[in-house]
Chains A and B, each alone.
Chain A
Amino acid sequence: MKKHLLSAADLTRDDAELILETAEELRSLADRPIKKLPALRGRTIVNLFFEDSTRTRISFEAAAKRLSADVINFSAKGSSLSKGESLKDTALTLEAMGADAVVVRHWASGAPHNLANAGWSRSSVINAGDGTHEHPTQALLDAFTMTRHLAPEKGQGLDGRRVAIVGDVLHSRVARSNALLLHTLGAEVTLVAPPTLLPYGVDSWNVQTSYDLDAVLPKTDVVMMLRVQRERMNASYFPSVREYSRRYGLDARRMATLQDHAIVMHPGPMIRGMEITADVADSERSVIVEQVTNGVAVRMAVLYLLLGGAEPAITTGDTVPEPVEGSTSSTTGDGDDA
């Protein structure tokens, strides 16, 4: 039984659906006068951020606070981390403070895995983005947003839906986690990028690839634009920004070739005018702002399912997952504790 969320690949289909259904119930909390639930009262959650982040950190903080957990924010700037303290010593400090969960973002791929498995601490570790590796909660919130738009009826899924992920796939942990999770959920993913920005070994990813955005757009249900991560680039991957935009940017002309129900997504932060034009980002098809709102509900669901009970509800491989239909309340159960 795992108590960490390190990779979207750790989630079985049942786990993922349980998280999405729980998030659906938790989303209604945003409309209530008191946006607070008592599930994590007395639990301590540490946000450990070695890399800059706006959306993810605030989202995790809001999620933890709405579940009544105590939140400690820990960013590399302004802490002993900037004095050269190692990840191990930081982990030991957190352990000594009694953290129940550590939400970690790190520039190095695999840092959350280290933190979870090195035996330095007993906390649950949630990966909030590690290098160019994974960002599982982003993939979950993206799947949640897609489900709300493309499969709003209960019991409907993303099976057979087509998702195009466009842009700097090479440096994108969002693309990697989305490809893994969407495959688990039965969707068909097409990665669209210039050859230089597709990762090595992408043929083993269970996805299709294309270099031609215009050919993919009319067939897709979701188009997810990625930011070109120039801060991670140490070489020239394309001739010029202008050429990149012309071939892989989403503008109004290209958006017009989408099917009527198709939605436009972006994990943020976006560079308007580069991978996406302002009129597309602000159009009715764009669900970019909604992605942020949904992020809080999805992260609440993850925190609740990992920390809310005596043991995590999210299982992997060796254990039988709990049934996820609305029928979890059982005849004997009702009688026993009613």
Chain B
Amino acid sequence: MPPTQPELAEQPDTGSETGPDTGRTVLDARDLSRALTRISHEILERNRGSRDLVLLGIPTRGVHLAHRIAAKISEVEGIDVPVGSLDVTMYRDDLRMRPARALLPTEIPPGGIDDKTVVLVDDVLYSGRTIRAALDAMNDIGRPRAVRLAVLVDRGHRDLPIRADFVGKNLPTSTAESVAVRLEEHDGEDSVTIR
């Protein structure tokens, strides 16, 4: 139904060209790093160590964030926490409303997720629909002992009864605004901007 125009507007390049000039920076590289350090400590505190932890990032940026959290946990505990990625494209409730989308990688760590504490990692929590899709996707992969949610930014406006356990920054927004998370690995710099 939607013509090609809205698709083009969504392309990442558009965002990266105009992003830094037009947006107001909410977190810079150092804020972002501190927020991830705090999340890492909170995860360890809540889990009482890194035992049976699995970090699953939601592509694309959630996966980078999951790897960073794992690195920070490794610094503190000296233990490598398994990191994977979970693509939720086929589980989205709006799959039928847009043209078929390219799939992103799903990589489950070798130990699986059965009886593990899975921490889902995503960049922005908004409607909660992505997380609902992630919970459904996980259902087909295994049965974790518990599932937690870590997000870099919680911008509110939930459509579903879903909340994050670990939040980098609570960011009150209006629905007209858009939040852009940019990460070194993917966009060449670390920042969160609002526009």
Give residues in A with beta carbon < 8 Å to B.
18, 21-22, 25-26, 28, 32-34, 36-39, 304-313, 319-320, 322-324, 326-338
Contact = CB atoms under 8 A, between A and B. Distances in A.
Contacts of A322: 7, 99, 101-102
B69 interface: no
A55 B101 CA distance: 28
A327 B178 contact: no
B99 A334 contact: no
B124 A313 contact: no
Interface in B141-162: 141-142, 151, 155
10 contacts: A25-B104, A37-B90, A305-B100, A309-B101, A312-B99, A324-B102, A329-B59, A330-B14, A331-B180, A336-B178
B100 A308 contact: yes
Contacts of B187: 331
A28 B95 contact: no
B36 interface: no
Nearest to A35: B140
Nearest to B16: A331
B48 interface: no
Nearest to A309: B100
Given A310-B96, A320-B4, A327-B186, A21 B102 contact: yes
Contacts of A304: 90, 100, 103
A322 to B, nearest CB: 6
A32 B102 CA distance: 20
B100 A331 contact: no
A319 B4 contact: yes
A109 B179 CA distance: 53
Given A304-B90, A307-B100, A332-B14, 12 more contacts: A21-B102, A32-B108, A37-B90, A38-B90, A38-B136, A310-B1, A320-B8, A328-B101, A331-B15, A335-B179, A335-B180, A338-B130
Chain B interface mostly: mixed
B37 interface: no
Interface string B159-195: 0000000000000000000111110001100000000
Nearest to A308: B100
Interface residues of B, number: 56
Given A25-B104, A323-B11, A337 B1 contact: no
Nearest to A25: B103
Contacts of A327: 12, 60, 186
Contacts of A329: 12, 59-61, 104
A333 B10 contact: yes
Interface string B1-41: 11010011111101110010000000000000000000000
A332 B180 contact: yes
A18 B99 CA distance: 13
A208 B129 CA distance: 53
Contact of B155 (A37, A310, A332, A335): A335
Shortest 6 CB-CB contacts between residues of A and residues of B: A309-B100, A331-B15, A313-B100, A308-B100, A331-B180, A25-B103
Contact of B182 (A18, A28, A331, A336): A331
A122 to B, nearest CB: 16
Contacts of B126: 335-338
B57 to A, nearest CB: 12
Interface string B85-117: 001001110111111111111111000000000
A22 B4 CA distance: 21
A304 B96 CA distance: 11
Contacts of A311: 1, 99-100
Contacts of A310: 1-2, 96-99
